[in-house]
């Protein structure tokens, strides 16, 4: 499960440093290349709850194999794509494969380990692998692009995904027979949930871009609002909603997922700010930029090993607040380095703070988001948590980076504006986490 998580997480960031090479091969500009990243992230996040529901209805192992196979086939298509349009289609399919596979994988882990220290350790490994995949994506992309070409950024994952599928057949228990007729899937809800952030991102990213018709931005934002309202309406009236109303009865889970969106927005923004600062401000090449981010990945491993012990001692809410505070401190460090026009070494403290913020914040939020789940709703709870993480990251990047680096604000420091917007989101997340009802602190059992 963690191997699958690693390669899916890598694919979230691995294309960033390879984008200039992709653009040169296909003759497209940087503005068009944005959709190689956004299309994958938003499609994956928007369909994650549908994937979680599929796991609950059709069986986790069956859905796990289906999603992993789709993700692997799409990776192969992306690596062999003869045109840019086909590459974008492949990225959309990768997002769909992730949405189907990841909730089933996380639900498998949650149900394998009981609440308490055992589940805490398992989720810490899961979160550490995901976080390292996100960060190492930059390094892997730089090395592969420099020595093998950008197509191998996608192709390298294919044999490992085949190994995941073979291992899942032998290691994951078979699905139990479905009880009676399975209820229909809420496809309208899934489509509206995907359309809402996609249209919102389109409106924010295209704002102020030269050559974009004046009606595109307001139409996109209006469409995002309409899609969001339509999703709420469909869920309220559906007999078999994608997101059952009973999910909102648990205040801890709801607050944990909202906080996840806000924290992930800040974390995802920091990754792009690091890349932009190193490559655009300091003019460091792709390989050098990727290697500069190694301290983040290495320190993340150390913090991820420390968090389970502190989670058992402090409780999940205290860890979440610590993670948000450290991430906010990282934003201040990025803003200071940009204002002083400092060298690459000045970014190391911010990277260490981001690593600590990810480890403390995301592990604590994952624990809160799946507290009290059962066999019947583990998939949907996992899907909601992953959707909150991914959609929050995509929306945060669209707002913080999209507004901060907008052409109309070129007279201002884009890094200062982006970090200020991220800090506001993190403040809201801290207030929400502070008021979140905390479950009992995990305690050790004799078996532990």
Q: What is the pLDDT of residue 448?
A: 43
**Any idea what the CATH number is for the domain that residue 53 is in?**
1.20.1250.20
Task: State the total domains in the chain.
Answer: 1
What are the tens digits of pLDDT across the range 322-335? 999 999 999 999 99
Q: Is residue 203 part of a domain?
A: no
Average pLDDT over residues 66-83: 94
Average pLDDT over residues 118-126: 80
Q: Is residue 216 part of a domain?
A: no
**Host domain of residue 345:** 2-173+244-434
Q: Is residue 215 part of a domain?
A: no
When the pLDDT of each residue in the chain is averaged and rounded to a whole number, the result is 82
How far apart are alpha carbons 15 and 261 in whole angstroms?
22
Average pLDDT over residues 411-430: 89
CB-CB neighbours of 294 under 10 Å = 14
Q: What is the pLDDT of residue 424?
A: 94
Q: Which of 46-50, 113-117, 149-153, 398-402 has the highest mean pLDDT?
A: 149-153
Position 18 pLDDT exceeds 60: yes
pLDDT: is 230 or 249 the higher one?
230
Q: What is the pLDDT of residue 287?
A: 80
Q: Is residue 202 part of a domain?
A: no
Q: What is the pLDDT of residue 447?
A: 40
Q: Which of 13-17, 68-72, 96-100, 342-346 has the highest mean pLDDT?
A: 68-72
| Residues in contact with 210: Cβ distance below 8 Å, sequence separation at least 6, in sequence order | 407
Sign of CA dihedral 372, 375, 379, 380: negative
- C-alpha distances (whole Å) from 354 to each of 233, 295, 341, 414 are 38, 11, 20, 19
Q: Is residue 192 part of a domain?
A: no
With a pLDDT cut of 70, the percent of the chain lying above it is 89
Average pLDDT over residues 311-330: 89
Q: Is residue 65 part of a domain?
A: yes
pLDDT: is 227 or 180 the higher one?
227
Q: Is residue 261 part of a domain?
A: yes
How far apart are alpha carbons 224 and 153 in whole angstroms?
32
Which residue blocks in 27-157 are alpha helix, DSSP H? Answer: 30-58, 60-80, 84-112, 117-147, 152-155
Average pLDDT over residues 371-391: 73
Q: Is residue 395 part of a domain?
A: yes
Report residue 357 as tokens.
């913020």
pLDDT: is 174 or 274 the higher one?
274
Average pLDDT over residues 67-95: 93
Sign of CA dihedral 237, 366, 201, 204: positive
Q: What is the pLDDT of residue 283?
A: 86
């Amino acid at each position: 499960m963690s191997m699958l998580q690693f390669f899916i997480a890598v694919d979230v960031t691995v294309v960033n440093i390879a984008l200039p090479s992709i653009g040169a091969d296909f003759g497209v500009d940087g503005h068009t290349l944005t959709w190689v990243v956004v299309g994958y992230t938003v499609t994956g996040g928007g369909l994650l709850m549908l994937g979680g529901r599929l796991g609950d209805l059709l069986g986790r192992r069956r859905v796990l194999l289906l999603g992993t196979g789709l993700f692997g086939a799409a990776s192969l298509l992306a690596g062999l794509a003869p045109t840019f349009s086909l590459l974008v289609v492949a990225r959309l399919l990768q997002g769909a494969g992730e949405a189907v596979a990841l909730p089933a994988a996380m639900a498998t882990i949650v149900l394998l380990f009981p609440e308490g220290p055992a589940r805490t350790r398992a989720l810490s490994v899961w979160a550490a692998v995901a976080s390292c995949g996100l960060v190492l994506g930059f390094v892997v992309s730089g090395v592969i692009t420099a020595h093998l070409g950008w197509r191998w950024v996608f192709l390298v994952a294919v044999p490992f995904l085949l190994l995941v599928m073979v291992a899942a057949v032998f290691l994951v228990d078979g699905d139990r027979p479905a009880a009676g007729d399975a209820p229909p899937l809420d496809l309208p809800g899934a489509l509206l949930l995907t359309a809402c952030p996609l249209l919102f991102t389109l409106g924010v990213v295209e704002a102020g871009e030269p050559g974009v018709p004046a009606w595109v931005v307001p139409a996109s934002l209006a469409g995002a609002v309409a899609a969001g309202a339509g999703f709420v309406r469909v869920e309220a009236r559906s007999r078999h909603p994608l997101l059952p109303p009973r999910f909102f009865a648990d205040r801890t889970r709801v607050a944990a997922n909202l906080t996840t969106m806000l924290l992930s927005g800040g974390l995802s923004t920091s990754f792009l700010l690091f890349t932009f600062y190193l490559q655009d401000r300091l003019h460091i090449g792709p390989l050098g930029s990727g290697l500069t981010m190694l301290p983040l990945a290495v320190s993340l491993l150390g913090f991820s090993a420390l968090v389970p012990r502190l989670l058992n001692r402090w409780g999940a809410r205290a860890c979440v607040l610590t993670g948000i505070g450290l991430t906010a401190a990282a934003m201040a460090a990025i803003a200071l380095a940009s204002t002083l026009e400092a060298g690459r070494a000045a970014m190391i403290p911010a990277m260490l703070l981001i690593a600590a913020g990810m480890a403390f914040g995301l592990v604590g939020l994952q624990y809160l988001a799946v507290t009290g789940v059962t066999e019947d709703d583990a998939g949907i709870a996992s899907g909601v948590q992953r959707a909150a993480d991914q959609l929050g990251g995509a929306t945060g990047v669209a707002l913080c980076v999209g507004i901060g680096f907008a052409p109309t604000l070129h007279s201002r420091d884009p890094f200062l504006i982006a970090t200020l917007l991220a800090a506001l989101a993190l403040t809201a997340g801290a207030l929400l986490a502070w008021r979140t009802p905390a479950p009992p602190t995990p305690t050790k059992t004799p078996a532990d």
